[in-house]
Structure 1
Amino acid sequence: MPPRLLACALALTMLVSAVAAQNRVSGAAIDGDAAAFTRNASALMESHEEGGVFSGAVIVARDGIPIFRRAYGPANREWAIPNTPDTVFRIGSITKQFTAAAILKLAEAGSLSLDDPVIRHLPELPPTWAPMTIRMLLNHSSGLPNVTALPGYATNFGRIERSPMETVALLYREDLLFPAGTGHEYSNTGYILLAGLIERITGQTFERYLNEAILVPAGLHSTRDADPGEIIPRRAAGYRRVSGEWRNALPLAASAPSGAGMLASTLDDLVAWDRALFSGRILSLASRRAMFTDYGHGYGLGWYVGTAYGRRLWSHGGFINGFSAIKDSYPDLGLTIVVLGNSEIVPAQALSRELAALYLGVPARTQISVDQTILDRYVGFYRTGPRSVLSIVRDGDHLLAQGIGQGSGEPRIILLPESDRAFAAQGDTIRVAFDIEPDGRPTGVMIHRDGIERAGPKIDRFMARRITARRFARLPPGR
C-alpha cells in the first residue's frame, strides 16, 4: 500500500477507534453490566410502585433500542386492568414540542416567520399584544397569562368545548404579565394560541395538520389527540387522590388543552419521535438549531434545554388531569428516558433523573425544588389511624414530618421532594404523597413505610387534639 494511503488508513482507524471508545465511556455503566442496570432500575421502580406513588410505564432506550421497558400498577382501577408497556397515556405538556415542530414546519414552507408579529396573522388580537412574535409564544417570553390559572378553570372553563381562539379570547381583557419579549413566564396560553395560528394559516384543524405534517411522517402510530369522548384502544384511565382515597381525574373538555397538552402517546412512540426528530427526518438542521437554542431561560422552542450529570439534556414534562409524565433526551448519548404515569402524584422527573444516574453509574441528583408557598400549603395535621396523626411543618425550604399520638415519640424526618406533591425521606424509608384539590388545597395524605401503606384526610388542630388528647401539649405548631 502506498505510504499516503497507509497513513490515511491509519488515521481513519484511529478516528473510528476514538469514536468507539467515546461511545463505550458514554455508556460505561450499561455497556459494562446490563444485568446490573436492569436489577437496579427494577428495584427503583418497584419501590415506588410498592410505595403507592407510581402507576404507569417507563422506558430507557439508547439509539432507539430499549434497554429497560416495564409497566406498573393499574391502567384501570375499577376493573383491575394492569398497565402494559404498550398502554396509551396522556402526555400533557410534552405536546408542546410537537406544536413547536408544526410551527417550524410552516416556517420552512415560507408560510410564516418566527419573528412575525402574531397579530399579522390573527388581526383580531388585542392591540396591546401587537409586539408579540411567534418566537415569543414558542419560548414563553410573550407575557401571556396562563389560561389554566384563571379562577374556576378546573371546574368551569376547562370543561367547556372551545376552539383555540375562543379559549385565548378569555384573556383578551387581562393585562400581560410583562411587556412582550422582556421576561419569561411559562404559559399554556401561548401554545393554545399557536394552535389557533396553525388553523388560520393552514385552513385545517390543528389535530389534522399535526397528524399529516408531523405524526405520520415520524411514524408515530399511537400518538393522537386524547379526546376523552373517543374510544382509544389500550388507553389508561387517569387518577387523583382526595382525602386519602383514589378518585377518577376531574373531567376536561377535549378541546381545552389544544396545542399546549392535547396528545396521548406510548413509550415506543416517544422514543421513535426522538429518533425521527434528531435524525433530520422531520425538520431541517436550521429548524432544529432554533428549537434547541437556549433563549436565556433554559428553554428553547417547546423544550427545556440544559444539562444533567455533565451531559446535555433536552427535556419536557407533562401534567394534566390524572396524568404525570416526562421525556428526557440526552443527545450526546443517544439516550431517551420516558416516564408516563396515570396518577397526579407520580414523581416523573425524579424517577427519570434517578434512572439516568443508574445508567451512568453516578449518584442521583434529582434537582427537584418546590416553592415555599406550595410547601406552606401542606403544613398541618393528617389523620393516619384511629389514634395516630402525622404532623407536617416547614423548616426553610423543606418539610419535616413527625408521627404523633399512638406510638408517638418519633423524631422529625426531613422530606425531600420528588415532585410538587410527592416527597421521600433520605434512604427512601418513608414516602409521603399529598392529595390536593385543583386549587392546590391539600385534602389528605398517603404514607408508605416499611411495606405498609396508610392514608388519611387532612384535619384541623382541634381534631388533632381530640385524637391525641394525652399528648396535645407536644403537638407542634400547625393549622
Structure 2
Amino acid sequence: MAVPGAADAQDAPPVGAEALDPAKAAALGEAMRAAELWIDGQRRYRRIPAISAALVRGDATVWAKGFGTTDRAGRIPATPDTIYSICSISKLFTAVALMQQWERGTVALDAPIERYLPWARLADDPRDSVPITLRGLLTHSAGLPREADFPYWTGPDFAFPSQAQVRVAIREQTPLYPASTTWQYSNLGLTLVGETVEAVSGTPYADYVHANILGPLGLDDTRVGIPAQLYGQQMAVGWGALEADGARPEVGLFDPAGITPAAGFTASVADLAKFASWTFRLASSGEEEVLRPSTLREMQRVHYISPDWETSWGLGFSVRQEGGTTVVGHGGACPGYRSALMLAPSESMGVAVAMNAMDDPGGIARGIAALVKARGEAAPFDPVAGVDLADYAGVYSGQPWDSDFMLIPWAGGLTWLDPDAVEPARALWRLKPLGGDRFRVVTDKGAEREAVTFERDAAGQVRAIRRHANLSPRLRGL
C-alpha cells in the first residue's frame, strides 16, 4: 500500500490479508492508507527522522511500514526491518524467561529474592515490610529504587554500570517503600529478574534468551544488546527531544551493560509483530510454544493494582483498560529511541511502533488502532453512478486557519483526515456522495448536515472544495 506523495515510506508485503473477506480487506486497506498518511504527517510535523510500525491480527502481520530515513545523511529509508533500541520492552523477554523457569519449578514467585541472589540484599531499612519477591519485581511493587545507583540516563556518555557494579552497589541502596505498598517502576527490579534467570539456569542471560526465546520464535533481528556494527545502517541513528528551534540533537550510541535485562534489547517492528503473533497463537492454539498458554494468561492478568487504582500490572506486562477492552504490552524509552507494543488479547490485535527520536510512539499506536476501529464501524454509503472518489482525494489547504488536511476514500464516500491531529479518529468527518461534484457532511452520529461542492479547472481536474461559500484549494493528489 504505497502512499503517493510520501516517497520515503517503505512497505513490507502484508501477510494474511488474503484471509479476510473482500469487504473486510477493503476496509482494512482504507484504514491503513489513512494510517500511513497520518503517520507520515505526524513524522513531518514533529520532525521525527524515522518511524516504523506494524499491525497484527491473530497469527498474521497484516500491515507493516517504515517512514522517513534512519541515517545522518537522510539516505537510508526506514522499513519494518529497521532496528531500534526497544529499551523497556526488553522487560517482556526477561519476564518470559523467568516464567519459563517458573514452569520448570526452579523459582517460586513469592519466595524472597535472596533465595536466588544472595548478594541482592539492600541496605537495612527500619520500616516494616514483607519480603522482596520475584512477583514484586515483575509488577514493580517491590519498593525498590527506580535505578541502580549510577547516573546512566545522563548524557552525553550514558555511562551504564557493569553487571559487577550493579551487584556491589545494591548493598548500599535502600528500598524507597515497604514492599507491596506502592507501585514504583524499577529498572533495577527487572535487572534482578534477569540475574535470577542467569543464576537458576546456569547460563549467561543473553545466551539463555537467544536459545530459549529469540531462536525458537524466529526473531532474527532482535538482540540482547546494541549491534554497534549496524548503527547508522540497519540500526537507526538516535535523536533527542525536539528543541524550540525545531531541531533534534543527535544522541550517541550507548551500551546498557549491567541493565540489559531491563533496557538493553534492540529489535525491528517486524520482529515485535512476530512476538505479538506468538502471544495470540499461544492463546488460540492451546499448545505449548516457548510457554504454556496458561502461563501467558497468568502474565497478562492483573497481579498488582496501586492503592489509588490508577496503575495495574501483570507479570512483566502492563495491563489496563481502554474503552472497555483489556490492553497489555509495554513501552520503551532509551536515549534517542522510543517504542510501544500494544496488544488486545480479546481481539487478537496488536500494534508495534518504534522511532529514533524522543516522542510518542504510544500515541501513534493508539492512533493506528483507532483508525482501524473507526473504519470497521463506518456504515458504507451507497455508490452513486458517475462518482469516482479518487477524483476528489488529495491534500487541501486549510490556511490561514489551519494546516493542510486530506480527503481520502472511506466507506463509499470521503473522510477528512487531519495529519496534525493527535487523535486522528476523533478528527474524522465524512462526506456522502450526492452526484455532480456534490457531497453532504455526515457527523460521527450519522446526522446529515450541509452540502459541499467541489470545483474543477478547465482540464476537468478537481481544484478546490467549497464549504459555507468558502474555498479550500486542492494542493495535490494522493
Question: Is the TM value for this pair above 0.5?
Answer: yes
8 A contact 2:343–2:350 mirrored in 1: yes
8 A contact 1:316–1:328 mirrored in 2: yes
Say whether 1:145 aligns with 2:179: no
Amino acid at match of 1:266: S
Matches of 1:166 and 1:238, distance apart in 2: 26
CA shift, 1:296, in A, is: 3.2
Q: Deviations over 1:48-77 (max 9, x none)?
A: 122134322111121232333211111112
Unaligned runs of 5+ in 2: 1-18, 283-287, 306-311, 378-400, 402-416, 423-478
| Counterpart residue number, 2:347 | 333
Q: Deviations over 1:312-345 (max 9, x none)?
A: 2112111111100001111122211111101112
CA shift, 1:173, in A, is: 2.1
Say whether 1:263 aligns with 2:269: no
Matches of 2:329 and 2:249, distance apart in 1: 29
8 A contact 2:139–2:314 mirrored in 1: yes
CA shift, 1:144, in A, is: 0.7
| Counterpart residue number, 1:103 | 98
Matches of 2:181 and 2:160, distance apart in 1: 33
| Residue pairs, 1:240-319, within 5 angstroms | 240-241=240-241, 243=243, 244=245, 245-278=247-280, 279=282, 280-297=288-305, 298-319=312-333
| Counterpart residue number, 1:204 | 203
| Counterpart residue number, 2:184 | 185
| Counterpart residue number, 1:10 | none
> Which sits farther off after the overlay, 127-136 or 219-228?
127-136
Say whether 1:45 aligns with 2:47: no
Say whether 1:71 aligns with 2:66: yes
Amino acid at match of 1:289: R
Taking structure 1 as reference, are residues 310 and 108 closer, same or farther at Cα in structure 2, changes over 3 Å only?
Answer: same
| Counterpart residue number, 2:428 | none
CA shift, 1:257, in A, is: 3.2
- From the two aligned structures, give the one with the greater helix fraction: 1
Taking structure 1 as reference, are residues 29 and 75 closer, same or farther at Cα in structure 2, changes over 3 Å only?
Answer: farther
Q: Deviations over 1:125-147 (max 9, x none)?
A: 32648811111111111111011
Q: Deviations over 1:285-315 (max 9, x none)?
A: 3321320121232210111112223322112
Matches of 2:318 and 2:205, distance apart in 1: 23
Matches of 2:362 and 2:148, distance apart in 1: 21
| Counterpart residue number, 1:135 | 135
Amino acid at match of 1:46: D
Matches of 1:116 and 1:157, distance apart in 2: 37
| Counterpart residue number, 2:238 | 238
Amino acid at match of 2:85: R
Matches of 1:107 and 1:229, distance apart in 2: 33
Taking structure 1 as reference, are residues 352 and 200 closer, same or farther at Cα in structure 2, changes over 3 Å only?
Answer: same
CA shift, 1:189, in A, is: 0.7
TM-score (norm 1): 0.66
Taking structure 1 as reference, are residues 192 and 84 closer, same or farther at Cα in structure 2, changes over 3 Å only?
Answer: same
Matches of 2:323 and 2:376, distance apart in 1: 9
Q: 2:86 aligns with which of 63, 84, 91?
A: 91
TM-score (norm 2): 0.66
CA shift, 1:250, in A, is: 3.8
Taking structure 1 as reference, are residues 158 and 200 closer, same or farther at Cα in structure 2, changes over 3 Å only?
Answer: farther
Does the residue aligned with 1:234 lie in a helix, a strand or coil?
Answer: coil
CA shift, 1:353, in A, is: 0.7
Amino acid at match of 2:192: L
| Residue pairs, 1:408-423, within 5 angstroms | none
8 A contact 1:145–1:171 mirrored in 2: no
| Counterpart residue number, 1:176 | 175
Amino acid at match of 1:286: S
Amino acid at match of 2:295: S
8 A contact 1:168–1:193 mirrored in 2: no
Taking structure 1 as reference, are residues 308 and 152 closer, same or farther at Cα in structure 2, changes over 3 Å only?
Answer: closer
Matches of 1:301 and 1:274, distance apart in 2: 16
Does the residue aligned with 2:176 lie in a helix, a strand or coil?
Answer: coil
| Counterpart residue number, 1:466 | none
Q: Percentage identity across aligned positions?
A: 24
Taking structure 1 as reference, are residues 190 and 363 closer, same or farther at Cα in structure 2, changes over 3 Å only?
Answer: farther
Taking structure 1 as reference, are residues 152 and 91 closer, same or farther at Cα in structure 2, changes over 3 Å only?
Answer: closer
Say whether 1:343 aligns with 2:357: yes
Taking structure 1 as reference, are residues 319 and 118 closer, same or farther at Cα in structure 2, changes over 3 Å only?
Answer: same
Matches of 2:421 and 2:299, distance apart in 1: 40
| Residue pairs, 1:25-40, within 5 angstroms | 30-31=24-25, 33-40=27-34
8 A contact 1:226–1:264 mirrored in 2: yes
Does the residue aligned with 1:286 lie in a helix, a strand or coil?
Answer: helix
Matches of 2:421 and 2:279, distance apart in 1: 40
8 A contact 1:168–1:189 mirrored in 2: no
8 A contact 1:28–1:360 mirrored in 2: no
| Counterpart residue number, 1:352 | 365
CA shift, 1:275, in A, is: 2.4
Matches of 1:226 and 1:263, distance apart in 2: 5
Taking structure 1 as reference, are residues 299 and 70 closer, same or farther at Cα in structure 2, changes over 3 Å only?
Answer: same
| Counterpart residue number, 1:387 | none
Amino acid at match of 1:99: T
Amino acid at match of 1:356: A
Matches of 1:157 and 1:175, distance apart in 2: 26
8 A contact 1:29–1:359 mirrored in 2: no
Taking structure 1 as reference, are residues 97 and 31 closer, same or farther at Cα in structure 2, changes over 3 Å only?
Answer: same
| Residue pairs, 1:50-65, within 5 angstroms | 50-54=44-48, 55-65=50-60
8 A contact 2:119–2:167 mirrored in 1: no
Matches of 2:419 and 2:141, distance apart in 1: 38
8 A contact 2:141–2:304 mirrored in 1: no
Matches of 1:354 and 1:28, distance apart in 2: 24
8 A contact 1:97–1:302 mirrored in 2: yes
Amino acid at match of 2:290: I
